[in-house]
Amino acid sequence: MGYTADIHQYSGLLHLLKASSKKTVIEICRMVAQADSKADILTRIRTDLNLNDTEAEDLYVDLTTFVEHVTYHDFHDVDSIKSSLPADFHPNLRDLLTKIVADNSAKWRSDLLSKQVSFPKVEELNWKVESNSTTTGRPTCKLNIKTNDEKDIKIVMSKATLDTMLDSLSTIRDQISSVTP
């Protein structure tokens, strides 16, 4: 569920009332949600809405804050989005912003998540045990790990190293099990 915002918190959004069309408001919201260049967004805001630098900055900050808030909290239903704006907010603008967010929040959230930096994920794991390594003359384990970023990682381990790794993995498994429901 949303929260009740203070009217002063999003006062910069009222500059959107100067837009000549709903399409302009939608495009400015899209640019903010997709984290386009701040300079490009401010230029577009100043040009499309005929705002000075201070007004454009106020709108940019408040719109960015609003979009990040509803996207972060995954608000996609009308009531949650509306409650994110002050109760005495301009009703037509509140309804327009609510519709824009409701129609686009899933895509915006997906786009933001896809841009996040993350660790590679293991896609494939193969191993081979050799009884007599050509380099050490002792048994070894050869791991071949393929990741989602198309890296091919090869690891050669002795029995002692493999035992240490398995003990560590066992500890990690136990810790994850203790924190997950």
All structural domains of the chain with their residue ranges: 11-115, 122-179
Amino acid at 171: T
pTM: 0.60
> Token pair for residue 153?
């990682």
Determine the angle formed by the axes of helices 91-115 and 22-33, rounding to 10 degrees: 30
pLDDT at position 37, please? 85
User: CA 50, CA 5: separation in Å to the nearest integer?
Assistant: 27
CA proximity to 116, closest of 180, 35, 42, 39: 35
Pairing of strands 122-130, 152-158: unpaired
One pLDDT digit (tens) per residue for the chain, 181 residues: 444 455 457 889 999 999 999 999 999 999 988 877 889 999 999 999 999 999 999 999 999 999 888 888 888 788 888 888 888 899 999 999 999 999 988 888 887 777 777 778 888 999 998 887 666 678 888 989 998 877 888 888 888 888 999 999 999 998 888 886 6
Within 8-123, where are the H helices?
A: 22-33, 38-49, 53-72, 78-83, 91-115
pLDDT at position 1, please? 41
